[in-house]
Amino acid sequence: DTGVSQDPRHKITKRGQNVTFRCDPISEHNRLYWYRQTLGQGPEFLTYFQNEAQLEKSRLLSDRFSAERPKGSFSTLEIQRTEQGDSAMYLCASTPQGRSPLHFGNGTRLTVT
Amino acid sequence: GDSVTQMEGPVTLSEEAFLTINCTYTATGYPSLFWYVQYPGEGLQLLLKATKADDKGSNKGFEATYRKETTSFHLEKGSVQVSDSAVYFCALSGDNFNKFYFGSGTKLNVKP
């Protein structure tokens, strides 16, 4: 169990640029989640996958955000045309099937200038 | 919809003091309840959990009891240490464990 891995740890980008983050879940965890956390707040649900199927997306997730999990293993989260309001910590978590808690990665901190 | 409300921080205590962080929830059905801890620069780590009413979760000296009658899951520790300084998040998951909802977090500062 090597834990959930996220890359990069930090990303600074200029407004209007596209960014992509990667998450490698714990192997054999078939559920993968993306959350966003802003300063002083708890994690806010964005989307989740069961294997390669994206089962739910938050209504808060604009069309500029897209996530994929093409082979049911790692996942990517892309933000197009970034805005300053996108600055946040993006957290990935995974869990095996069934009644299990989330296991989080250390997150990717995005700063949009 | 499902939600979690926890006491605002920061909470500042001296070492060896008693800790309580309040958490209440709103949920349909039979949620499971969790406490997560986040140390600076790190992701969230599961601290403890309880999956049904009257269950008590415990870990590292922390405890929380699932109280359905008061819809609460307060976190307690009898004697805090400086190393307990972190942000604590209360969370719930619905019946099917598909979605998890988090409170806004309570920052704990423990002074020597």
Average pLDDT over residues A17-29: 96
Confidence check: pLDDT of A98 > 80? no
Residue A107, pLDDT score: 95
- Rounded Cα distance between B21 and B76, Å, is 7
Handedness of CA B49, B36, B82, B8 (dihedral sign): negative
pLDDT-derived band at A1 (thresholds 50, 70, 90) equals low
Under an 8 A CB cutoff, do B97 and A95 touch? Answer: yes
- Rounded Cα distance between B6 and B74, Å, is 9
Tokens of B82: 């400086």
Residue B14, pLDDT score: 97
pLDDT-derived band at B55 (thresholds 50, 70, 90) equals very high
- Give the closest-approach CA distance of A105 to chain B in angstroms: 5
Judge whether B17 and B80 are in contact, CB under 8 Å.
yes
- Interface contacts A/B by beta carbons within 8 Å: 52
Which residue in chain A has the smallest CA separation from B6?
A42
Average pLDDT over residues A35-58: 92
Under an 8 A CB cutoff, do A42 and B105 touch? Answer: yes
Adjacent-strand bridge partners of B76: B20, B63
- Give the closest-approach CA distance of B30 to chain A in angstroms: 12
DSSP state of A70: T
Interface test with B, best of A31, A47, A58, A99 (most B CBs within 10 A): A99
Average pLDDT over residues B23-28: 93
Under an 8 A CB cutoff, do A43 and B89 touch? Answer: yes
Residue B94, pLDDT score: 82
